Amino acid sequence: MIYWKATGFFTNVFFSNSIVGRASQLKLCYTWWWFRFQFVFLMANTAQSGMIGQIVRVVDEIKRCKITKTKEDFDRWEKSLNSFELLGMKVGFLCDKVHTLATLVFESEVAVDIKQYLEARNEHKRAEDEIKKVAAKLKELKGEAIKFAGIAGSLKHKVEKYEQKGVG
């Protein structure tokens, strides 16, 4: 059983009816405080550095933004920045930048051309993937044809012998 007993400036800690000395007690309290402080400090630094790294990543993606970015990319950036803003970080100017870019890409005169380009690009990729699948299937079928031609060629000689003997 552990309990604390106040005795002026110091307190005595009883562990199963034995008193831990004042120096040990101070050491114990200091160690407990130090670990607690280090844990909180470490967690705060980890969270802050993670948020800053995430913001830097979003900023880099915004810098490299092309007019072919999808709506999902802009939505993801906006959600990330809004969550950081809720945590107290001043990222409103980045939210404005993302909104401006999204408006330019999706609500401008070239938005129709961009949409058609993206659809054509996706269809082209789908067609190329289909060609690769068909080419692989063709290669497989050619291999099977060669295998069966070899089997048929070896059996043809035997069948001709049987026909000559009149067994068939």
**Greater pLDDT, 80 or 23:** 80
- 69 CB contacts (<8 Å, ≥6 apart)? 101, 105
* Cα distance between residue 43 and residue 51, in whole Å: 12
152: containing domain: 111-168
| Number of structural domains in the chain | 1
Among residues 74, 37, 69, the alpha carbon closest in space to that of 58 is found at 74
The whole-number pLDDT of residue 146 equals: 93
> Burial letters for 14-50: b for 16+ Cβ neighbours within 10 Å, e otherwise?
eeeeeeeeeeebeeeeeeeeeeeeeeeeeeeeeeeee
**Greater pLDDT, 36 or 96:** 96
Answer whether residue 94 is part of any domain: no
Q: What is the pLDDT of residues 78-111, one digit of tens each?
A: 998 888 888 888 888 888 888 888 888 777 777 7
Q: What is the pLDDT of residues 60-81, one digit of tens each?
A: 888 888 877 888 888 998 998 8
Answer whether residue 131 is part of any domain: yes
Answer whether residue 123 is part of any domain: yes
Percentage above 90 pLDDT, the chain: 20
The whole-number pLDDT of residue 158 equals: 84
Is residue 143 very low, low, confident or very high in pLDDT (cuts 50, 70, 90)? very high
Answer whether residue 82 is part of any domain: no
Answer whether residue 162 is part of any domain: yes
**Greater pLDDT, 35 or 74:** 74
For the question of whether the overall pTM of this predicted structure is more than 0.85, the answer is no
Answer whether residue 61 is part of any domain: no
Among residues 34, 35, 30, 28, the alpha carbon closest in space to that of 13 is found at 28
